[in-house]
Amino acid sequence: MATACNEPAGGDDPSPAEVVLQTAGLAVGYQDLQVVQGIDLAVQKGKITALLGANGSGKTTVLRTVVGLQRPLGGEVRLFGEVTRAALHARARAGLGYIAENRSLIPALTVRDNLRLAKVDTAAVVALAPPLEKLLSRRAGLLSGGEQQLLSVSRALARRPRLLVVDEFCQGLAPLAAETVSALLRQATEAGTAVLLVEQMLHRALELSDRFLVLRQGAVALAGRSADHRNRTEEIERLTIATDDSARLP
């Protein structure tokens, strides 16, 4: 296995004022089974941190804990400068946005009603994502994967979150759709939003992010600056190619 590196993945020696999210020694499990441990990560204002790893390595578990859907068994989550154990809705009020793997949309409702339900201004969303204007009356479940993610991301960004957490950011998207939502994200980071995302496509994740962490069997196997790894992805590929399940089998 590669050298473990638990250096906070938010930037080089970030000053505390700039760190929007930090976890220390985070351990999470389901019932009695611990699935992630010793997770130290940091996300800075205006920066993107990518969480990588094989299926089952614990990425979604970490995100769910960061947003308040899962209680840690150990360690802590420091959000906007304060250690928190608050529920998702309270963290959302403080400036956290979360897009789950299923895009967090209600498929049977129209685009307009999905926005209404989220109490987000339609005009603000259309300003961020003009292609959505002609889709407002369509049921969200009928949108293409790219349109759905455009809706999810622009809806989340219209609230001007201080931190946006996105699972499976470009899953199933063709390159053009992926580039459209990536551009929206970059625009938001330029305005100061911090982002923590999971992205399966290694090259895309390293292009988009400032820092990355690789989880292997629930622990940080590698972390660093994305720019340093864009031309040498073999090490990360080695860590992510084998499924953790196969590694655990007797």
Ligand X SMILES: Nc1ncnc2c1ncn2[C@@H]1O[C@H](COP(=O)(O)OP(=O)(O)OP(=O)(O)O)[C@@H](O)[C@H]1O
Q: Which residues bind Mg ion (CB under 5 A)?
A: 59-60
Q: Which does 193 bind (CB under 5 to 8 A by kind): Mg ion, ligand X, none?
A: none
Q: Which is nearer to ligand X, 110 or 233 (CB)?
A: 233
Q: Which does 223 bind (CB under 5 to 8 A by kind): Mg ion, ligand X, none?
A: none
In angstroms, how far is the first alpha carbon of the chain from the final one?
Answer: 18
Q: Which does 146 bind (CB under 5 to 8 A by kind): ligand X, Mg ion, none?
A: none
E runs forming strands in the chain:
19-30, 33-44, 48-53, 74-79, 82-83, 96-99, 163-166, 194-198, 211-216, 219-225
**Cα gap 61→178, rounded to integer Å:** 24
Q: Are 27 and 73 in contact (CB under 8 A)?
A: yes
| Closest approach of ligand X to the CB of residue 205, in Å | 13
| Closest approach of Mg ion to the CB of residue 50, in Å | 13
Q: Which is nearer to Mg ion, 79 or 197 (CB)?
A: 197
| Closest approach of Mg ion to the CB of residue 169, in Å | 11
> Which residue ranges make up the site for ligand X (CB under 6 A)?
30, 35, 53, 55-61
Dihedral sign, CA of 159, 103, 165, 63?
positive
Q: Which is nearer to Mg ion, 59 or 91 (CB)?
A: 59
Q: Which does 53 bind (CB under 5 to 8 A by kind): Mg ion, ligand X, none?
A: ligand X
Picking from 116, 121, 117, 146, the residue whose alpha carbon sits closest to that of residue 131 is: 146
User: Locate tokens 């031309």: which residue?
Assistant: 231
Q: Which is nearer to Mg ion, 34 or 110 (CB)?
A: 34
Q: Which does 57 bind (CB under 5 to 8 A by kind): ligand X, Mg ion, none?
A: ligand X
Q: Which is nearer to ligand X, 19 or 28 (CB)?
A: 28
| Closest approach of ligand X to the CB of residue 154, in Å | 24
Find the helix or strand (DSSP H, E) in which 89 lies: helix 88-93
**Cα gap 44→10, rounded to integer Å:** 5
